[in-house]
Amino acid sequence: MIITIDGPAGSGKSTTAKLLAKKLNATFLDTGAMYRSVTLMALETAESMDDASQLGEIARNISIEFREDPIRGQRTFIAGRDRSEDIRSRKVDENVSAVSAHKSVRDSMVSIQRRIAKSSKIVVGEGRDLGSVVFPDAEFKFFINADPVKRAQRRALERGETLDDRKIEEIKKRDLLDSSRAESPLIVPEGAYIIDNSDLSIDATLQKLLELIA
């Protein structure tokens, strides 16, 4: 069974997907971490975030592995090194949309995502195109959204920062980039349940998903 959770930045889809996967004893497919990993490697080795050929080569050759830590949860390893914190940096935030917009990058990541799904009994995946492109025939599709200010506030809290206008504008800019790109834009997948969790806690959001899956 495949369950997809799509949505914009700061909607809480990653945390919800992790909790749902744990509840269902399923494989958690963190596609956001995959694109962030490619972006991190591009920032460290590529000359430009616009060079599709170079970025595609990085995506084809990158070694990404997810490992479960009993205390910290799922960790992201690149070439055998734990880069879980590094892929969540502000620099990666600022460039991940541009990097993930390249077809060469998306093709490589989609291939890996489908391969993981084939080897798993139950998969819970989160991203921006899982229900629309990667797994259009998924048994359950969800699209989680929230007010941009709420989402910016959540991002600030995650980093121990104070909410300001710049962070709100960053979220809005990310939304525009993700929804207007040519390759696999952020859309509501056909047949998806739409959940606005602007005023919902993560637990309440999770409960809604569980009720719909039951």
Q: How far apart are alpha carbons 49 and 86 in whole angstroms?
A: 18
pLDDT at 24 over 90: yes
Q: What pTM did the predictor assign?
A: 0.85
Q: What is the mean pLDDT of the chain?
A: 93
Mean pLDDT, residues 6-13 taken together = 93
Confidence of residue 68 (pLDDT cuts 50, 70, 90): confident
Give the torsion through C-alpha atoms of 12, 14, 20, 25, to 10 deg. Answer: -170
**For the domain 2-203, what is the CATH code?**
3.40.50.300
Task: Give the percent of the chain with pLDDT over 90.
Answer: 79
* 102/117 Cα distance (integer angstroms): 23
For the chain, report the end-to-end CA distance as a whole number of angstroms.
Answer: 13
- Domain limits of the chain? 2-203
